Structure 1
């Protein structure tokens, strides 16, 4: 059993700068309105673990499960009777803009409850996160 959704946006910016901001886990709460606290327990690579406290959701650990530098990364977190997987993708459109997307998958019987309780708010927050990523990357650039 799986529930999933994807959100995407086109933002201004340099792909290297956007990637640097998006993968700077320790500073997510400084710019992402969806994150209250976060940390990473090593280099940004497959197998590294971290911890995150999203607004309106319980805190918990995650593991980076895939990284294509400058292009995409995936993380997984345990949830009751399943897992939550998030894949973030960054694609340069060649005109000073990028397509950014996040695909969220909820695996296991918790999916319908996740959809009912958190999915709407999470989807509503994603455009805010994408806009904040754009702003932070332009400021750091």
Structure 2
């Protein structure tokens, strides 16, 4: 059993700078309104583990499962009787903008509960995260 949803936005900025900000796990809480604390225990690469405390949700470990430098990355976290998978993509549109997207998948029997309890807040936070990513990437120029 799997439940998923995707949010996306087009933001202004250089894709390399946006990628650098988005993958700087240790600094997420400095700019992302969704994250309270975060860390990564090694290089930003498949197999590396990290830890995150989102606002309004329990803290926990995650593992980066796939990285395609400059274009996408995927992470996975355990939840009771299943897993939570996030896939993020970054696509330069050639006009100084970048399409950013995040797909969230809930695998296991907690999909319906996740949908009722956490999806609304998580979806509401995503546009704010995309906007904050744009601002931070521009600030780091």
Q: Where do 5+ consecutive residues of structure 2 fail to align? A: none
**How far has the Cα of 1:72 moved from its partner?**
0.1
- SS for the counterpart of 1:42 is coil
Poorly superposed stretches of 4+, deviation over 3 Å = none
Instruction: Determine the structure 2 residue equivalent to 1:103.
Output: 103
1:4 matched to which residue of 2?
A: 4
How big is the alpha-carbon RMSD for the aligned residues of Structure 1 and Structure 2? 0.3
Q: Output aligned runs, 1:54-133, within 5 Å.
A: 54-133=54-133
- Match runs of 1:34-45 below 5 Å: 34-45=34-45
Unmatched runs of 5 consecutive residues or more in structure 1 = none
Paired residues, number: 141
Map Cα deviations across residues 58-117 of structure 1 (whole Å, 9 max, x no partner): 000000000000000000000000000000000000000000000000000011000000
Q: Return the alpha-carbon distance in structure 2 between the equivalents of residues 54 and 110 of structure 1.
A: 18
Task: Please give the TM-score of this superposition, normalised by the length of structure 1.
Answer: 1.00
